[in-house]
């Protein structure tokens, strides 16, 4: 039997009377809270089978809904309680695709800390299972491409181009892709840090460490921002790597 948190029940299905008397006994207060039942007939069991058939989705069958994963999840506890790994697994196993779609805006927020997987007493690879659920949803066209997937593509393209990343360019390039206006130098068309629309959280996050850096390190980073460092003989190797990744479906 599934365990349901109060936050997962729709408010319109929760009833509480001001005063309730049953067989002459006054049960007013917390005892008179009633959750109305609902009937669901639009489930898709093929969805669950597709998750189970994936190599990294097989362990979903081991889940017995103890909720250790959710209890240890920092995203659930400190950011958004709607991010609930246990509930996502529950919905996927029942094929309740509509319910998963309602939560698509938070399902990609996993921070890959692996606490859920390490604490699962049944050996469910929770993080991997959730990623399979997202992949199946994306494959079926049930969700838009989520931000972390877009970042993965951006990161991969950068590595394929240069063989290595340059932190500043990656960061401000990603900010530009999020819709912020980034100012670029007129010659190399590289983003100039902190000129343009820079999110306030980024300023607070980076200004303090920058103040403690020595001049030589700052100059080196500025140089790398203008002239992206490249792995030796990368042009020869990247063609092979890109071809292999395309053949294996890792590039779209």
Is 178 a member of any domain?
Answer: yes
Q: pLDDT tens-digit profile of 125-143? A: 999 999 999 989 988 888 8
pLDDT at 11: 83
89 versus 31: the higher-pLDDT residue is 89
With the C-alpha atoms ordered 79, 175, 134, 123, is the resulting torsion angle positive or negative?
negative
* pLDDT of 244 strictly over 70: yes
Tell me: do 210 and 227 sit in the same domain: yes
Domain-terminating residue out of 124, 140, 156: 140
Is 251 a member of any domain?
Answer: no
Tell me: do 107 and 131 sit in the same domain: yes
Tell me: do 23 and 50 sit in the same domain: no
Tell me: do 122 and 205 sit in the same domain: no
pLDDT at 128: 94
**In whole angstroms, what is the distance from residue 164 CA to residue 110 CA?**
25
Give how many domains the chain has, as a whole number.
3
pLDDT at 116: 96
Is 40 a member of any domain?
Answer: no
* Nearest-10 Cα torsion for 145, 148, 150, 153: -130
208 versus 37: the higher-pLDDT residue is 37
Mean pLDDT value of segment 28-45: 82
Is 103 a member of any domain?
Answer: yes
Q: Domain range spanning residue 12?
A: 6-35
Tell me: do 53 and 98 sit in the same domain: yes
Is 236 a member of any domain?
Answer: yes
pLDDT at 137: 92
* pLDDT of 6 strictly over 80: no
CATH number of the domain that residue 115 is part of: 1.10.1060.10
Tell me: do 235 and 185 sit in the same domain: yes
Residues 6+ apart with CB under 8 A from 31: 20
Percentage of the chain lying above the pLDDT 90 cut: 30
pLDDT at 12: 85
Bridge partners of residue 15, in order along the sequence: 34
Is 1 a member of any domain?
Answer: no
Helices within 23-121 (DSSP H only)? 45-53, 68-71, 74-78, 85-94, 97-102, 104-107, 115-119
Mean pLDDT value of segment 74-87: 92
Percentage of the chain lying above the pLDDT 70 cut: 98
49 versus 208: the higher-pLDDT residue is 49
Structure tokens at 177: 């892709």
Tell me: do 236 and 157 sit in the same domain: yes
Tell me: do 131 and 165 sit in the same domain: no
pLDDT at 61: 95
pLDDT band at 93 (very low <50, low <70, confident <90, very high): very high
58 versus 3: the higher-pLDDT residue is 58
pLDDT band at 2 (very low <50, low <70, confident <90, very high): low
Q: Global pTM?
A: 0.67
Q: Name the least confident of 43-52, 90-99, 164-173.
A: 164-173
* pLDDT of 1 strictly over 60: no
**In whole angstroms, what is the distance from residue 70 CA to residue 136 CA?**
22
Tell me: do 88 and 110 sit in the same domain: yes
Tell me: do 28 and 52 sit in the same domain: no
Tell me: do 210 and 133 sit in the same domain: no
Helices within 17-84 (DSSP H only)? 45-53, 68-71, 74-78
Bridge partners of residue 182, in order along the sequence: 196
């Amino acid at each position: 039997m599934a365990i349901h948190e109060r936050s997962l029940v729709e408010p319109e299905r929760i009833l509480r009377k001001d005063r309730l008397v049953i067989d002459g006994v006054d049960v007013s207060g917390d005892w008179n809270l009633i959750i109305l039942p609902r009937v669901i007939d639009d489930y898709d069991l093929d969805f669950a089978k597709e998750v189970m058939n994936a190599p990294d989705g097989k362990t979903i069958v081991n889940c017995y809904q103890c909720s250790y994963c959710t209890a240890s999840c920092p995203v659930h506890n400190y950011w958004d309680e709607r991010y609930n790994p246990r509930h996502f697994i529950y919905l996927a196993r029942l094929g309740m695709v509509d319910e998963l779609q309602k939560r698509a805006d938070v399902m990609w927020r996993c921070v890959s800390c692996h606490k859920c997987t390490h604490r699962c007493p049944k050996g469910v690879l929770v993080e991997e299972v959730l990623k399979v659920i997202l992949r199946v949803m994306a494959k079926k066209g049930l969700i838009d491409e989520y931000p972390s997937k877009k970042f993965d593509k951006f990161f991969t393209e950068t590595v394929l181009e240069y063989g290595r990343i340059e932190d500043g360019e990656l960061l401000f390039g990603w900010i530009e892709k999020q819709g912020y206006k980034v100012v670029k130098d007129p010659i190399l068309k590289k983003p100039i840090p902190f000129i343009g629309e820079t999110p306030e959280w980024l300023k607070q996050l980076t200004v303090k460490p920058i103040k403690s850096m020595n001049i030589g390190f700052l100059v080196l980073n500025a140089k790398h921002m203008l002239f992206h460092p490249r792995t030796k003989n990368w042009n020869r190797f990247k063609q092979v790597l890109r071809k292999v990744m395309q053949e294996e479906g890792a590039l779209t």
